[in-house]
Structure 1
Amino acid sequence: MIPYQNGGKYIRPIALFQAQPKGKEDATTFEKLRTELVNTGIPAEHIAIRTADVNELKNVDLLSSDCPVRYIITVNALKEGWDCPFAYILASLANKTSQVDVEQILGRILRLPYTAEHRAKALNMSYVLTSSNDFNDAVQQIIRGLNSAGFSDRDYRLAEPVEPVKPAPVPEQLPIIEPEAPQEDFAGLDGKSIGAELQRRRESENSPESAPKADSMLAEAQQAGDAYNQAVQGADNDPFAAALPWEVRDKVNTFHIIPQYQESVDGLLIPQFFQVIPQSLFTDGDKVLLSKEMLADGFTLKGKAYDIDFAAADDEIVKVDVETGRSVPRAYQMEAADQRYFKEYFSSLPPESRVRQCKDMMIHQLDKLNMVDGGELRAYVNLIVDGMDREQLAAMEKAPLGFAAKIRVKIESLLEQHYKETFFTWLDRGKIVCEPHYRLPSAIHPTSSTAIYGKSLYEAEEDMNALEQDLVKRLTAIPNVLWWHRNIARHGFAINGYFNHYPDIMIMTKSGKIILAETKGEHLKNDDSREKIELGAAWRNAAGNRYRYYMVFRDEENLPHGAVSMGQFVETVEAL
């Protein structure tokens, strides 16, 4: 397509008139509508009829700039087998007394051309015009059509029904309608009067003070479109809600940022880790938000330890079956008698066959580890099994899936160690950098919430355990604290290193410092806590002087290296 006057591609909006014939072979309704449209001043060559029985679009390229067609009279566009992304307007002229299905034809005006946003806002929306004695009934038909096409109530806007202007009663001009005579679908349409009015409006376009509001519908549509775009942008800043279907979003708890804190959040981008992609023959260079899977680069099972304790391997035998009427396989614990038969059969096989089958079963189970090379995985399993003594082989033959689970745990621990080593190596070499990225959402959606503590960033925050509550209560008494926020695990901010760490509490001080605090009970002074302290320290050092990370325990006794007590933490926050 060549660019046109405003720099875009060629678009010729087409209006679809949904008519309803009186019978299958009756074309008089279509011809009557064509006549009325011509009477309004529309050239006859701009109008075409396309139904199951009448096809005036044969060999016509509707997308061509040479095609004059701007109005198509149809009944059910989908079943009639034609398509056109230039179809923007649906005017439903179906019999007001019948329930006409509009689902299929709606699909023809929802495919806007080029699937791109156009400079002219009016071209980014489709339009449905309907006339009915019962406006609500007509609207419900349209809504059902939109729903069947996959749209929800957030994707369309309704204009208020227009009340017809009632002229002063002039008895001699009232039409006489016989009760038994069928009413035409558009019997009240006066094409010549409409044409005269359209001509008058065209002539008065240059006189705004006297021109009627001919563009009021477009103005309302543009206003609705702008409101919709703002709502979409708001959803983009709310990743949790954006991942939910529209029908569910209204049913979850939603709490917005308290207005007095909005200014402190605007423009705040909290640093996260990015992998630096160097410039090469195939790329100009880039930075990509880090995920731990990227750190699997260079991982190998060759030469890795395979010291695995199989003593507690479970004897797991299950059967997988497809129930009648179901397409999804279900797993069941095999009954005792079946297990006994299976084991007896397995024991009857030659030793080499039993070992080979066990290997195959374990490799099949472990093959879901995407970060591990398949050939290396098979070699690793062979190395483990070939090194077993007679007792271990006998135990493996009884519980091959339990042995596979033990091997999986070992491989995953090797992977986690590789992730960590690669992370710190890349960070030291500048292959990982920490840059502003995470924006606090405009609203949060906790499954359970509390609103009893002051200085919370949102109208309510995710509910907290006793230790977190004690910390928050002490924060509310610190003058330097502007606001605090209970970070929601798996939905909020993550320190995205060799694992994703979601600190419990986020704090902003009046001096502009951002503090992340992970609270831990005394029973959690373990390896997990030490890993989080190490990753938090790496993030703090890379993020810059504005940012802090602390792991907070209630008491000072036996603190892991790098952790603080609650009293020490409160003193630090006061000093910041």
Structure 2
Amino acid sequence: MLELKTYQEKVLEHLENYCKLCNEKGAERAFLEYTGRPYIGIKQLPGLPYICLKVPTGGGKTFLASHSISIVRKEYLRIDNCTVLWIVPTNQIKEQTLNALKDRNHPYRLAIESNENNRVKVFDLQEAMFTSKAEYDNSTCIIISTLAALRIEDINGRKIYESNGHLMNHFIGIDEIQKNNLEKGQEGEILYSLANVFRMRRPIIIMDEAHNARTELSFDSLARFNPSAIIEFTATPQQVHDPERGFYASNVLHAVSAAELKAEHMIKMPIYLETNTNWRDILKNAIARRNDLDKIADEEYAITKEYIRPILLIQAQPRSQQKETLTVESVKESLINDYNIPEEFIRIQTGDIRELDGINLFDSDCKVKYIITVQALKEGWDCSFAYVLCSLSDVSSSTSAEQLIGRILRLPNAQPKKKQELNCAYAYVVSEQFHHTLAALGNGLIENGFSEYEAKTYIQSIEEGPSLLDYALIHTKRVQSVPDLTKLSGNVANKVIYKPQTQEIEISGFITKEENEQIKSCFTNDEDKKIIDDIFNSINSQLGIKPKEEKQWIKPLEPINVPYLAYKTPKQLEIFEEIHLLNTKWDILKYEAKVEASSFLNDGNKSKYGKIEVDDRGNVEYRFIEDLHEQLSFLVLDKQWSEEELIYWLDRNIPHQDISQAKFVYFLHKIIKDLIENQNVDFQKIIYYKFNLRDKIISLIDKYRKQARLENYQLILSTDLLTVDENKYFTFAPDIYPANWIYTGKYKFNKHYYADVGELKDSGEEFDCAVYIDSMPEVKYWIRNLEKQPRYSFWLQTSTDKFYPDFIALLNDGRILVVEYKGEPWSQTDDSDEKNIIGKVWAEKSKGKCLFIMATKGNLDEISALVKKKK
């Protein structure tokens, strides 16, 4: 089965943590506490968890969505199977998703089934109208649809709101509380509709690329299905919140950066760009590039046996009655007649001509090397063999090329290639102005989920010339007078455009102080000169990026190697990690098998179904979570369980890879026996609260596990089993630094190993510590060590988890300095003490080659003293 990448595990961890907190505190408070940002509620869906996970194009949103279902079901809904309404933006994507999820061997389906005990059913809307109650009761049912098809204005959408005799069985035996929540006909009769089936089942809604679905009409449609939660997966969440103008911002729970995708080899980077005003030259060069990549791909195959057939994606011009254009037919004719390309190598894919349908581009027998399109590949098309984009339309006036850039981003098989050229993408664009094209394609990357800074830095010129770093995205402002641009000369003249129709001045890219003064001289009034100053200040403060002449960072040539703490085994040295703390199956039966009934039987805290409260502001506040669980309980109350079935269920739903199966089952049996015989708990009541019981057992086992690990950990520290050896080390590579977000402050660091400082705020005690390290004359390079990145950061093992020190520095004399900063509230905790101990053990075992200090606000000078002290 396809394994999750590190950043994908982090996404799902954030979702799981939020779901758990949501059960305790509700959607809004949980979001505020978890993210530090206020939750933006939707009036049609009060109390509903409606959150967004931002993942750039190429990051595996559908794979993540597949894994998310079981997390929401187990940790939020707390039921054994669920109903999922999976909403996609287009019919084309609907068919792709439907086919993938129905394929029992597809990674998406395998991801779902591995967490759902293989009880999964997948339908489209039409099939769902004939699905039996038994299938919903005993399986996780996933219905794939577009949002448009769910709207009552759509003829197919209308059918899901109408009575359907095939669904009558779903409504037999339901009680009055359930009936009150269903839609009725004109005579007050319950409608046997699919919409009402959804209302009873409280579906999880998965929104694929949902930024276009955040409208009043969409919210009205979704509310009719009475969902339990809505999870958005998108590269570009809505960020503006202005309901009066129809903008509703997404509640972004977690955002993945392009740097994280790059580190995991999910995307081709950088993108090399060439522009030319002559379309024949651009097409010729794009073909030459593809041919060159073809030869390189053969060399790659000889080394790795990985098959790649580089594809050139050509964007032709739309057909026009007013002027002659380069249509798909004329481009195909040019490929055949001018470049002798066999017709079997070429396919056209437009709205009308669909020559790719039914073709597997990854098949080694497939001969397609050129695909000609206009806009048809914007959504739903995915082939990582697409390496080269050739746009014959000027992208500064065409949004489709910006969107097509996403089609060449994915790296085949998500693994680095031996031939560096195959780790990059290439764009050839007909354009009169290079920097305008850079800006336009940069916007395209932003549309695919990249930050503005990433969009600037990940596009480079094929020939020597400016990169996108030299040009900020275009800044436009309205001015009062017409500027005299004839006063401009040199490079600055290419950066400024005046638009008389809108009375706007447009400045592309970074400008120096001298260039700013030149532009101001084109105006005669002070108001317009102030506008130019505002643009200048905006450009040069944006994301903390300085103009090119102020950039002093030079890419280091050598990697930095930091020795791990190693563990001595009879045969070899191993990196000291979690496995050594419990290197044998630990004995759970040494510990008491007891859970207090009062800790998980919550009768007294359960609200009555349908209850509402009015707060002191007069707003109606629904007890959403409690009501949800009670409504879902109506669907499972009639199931009778045996003790063996409960133990089997607990065994399946509690992670215990480090405990022997036989002992774990016996431990569970002792807990159940104690509840029934000693605490007099009715067995069916235990079944009703089995998810609560599961949580308590997980906590109990985790407590015992920590005790066992701590005992082993302290034993290891007291022996001579640990050492530092130069052959066991972590390497900070110059090209890989997957920061989730970057420092954007005004202070300019001079010695950071990477161009960007990752995950550091621009003020506060940690920032002050970073500034102190950066200013030390003994420091050659330093690195802001990234949290929870075991493959890309240095760590030391504690008794509970991996410890990622805040700062790693290479000193001029070759020693390694590691600094962990602790603010005053955390400097005296057990966790801090343990980190301090293991850090000092590591330094001591290095015999002077490594230094460790736990710094606090009052002892920064001790860092310098430690460095100056020689053993």
Name whichever structure is richer in helix by fraction: 2
Higher Rg: 1
TM-score by length of 2: 0.36
Q: Per chain length, whose mean CA-contact separation is higher, i.e. which structure has more relative contact order (CA < 8 Å, sep 6+)?
A: 1
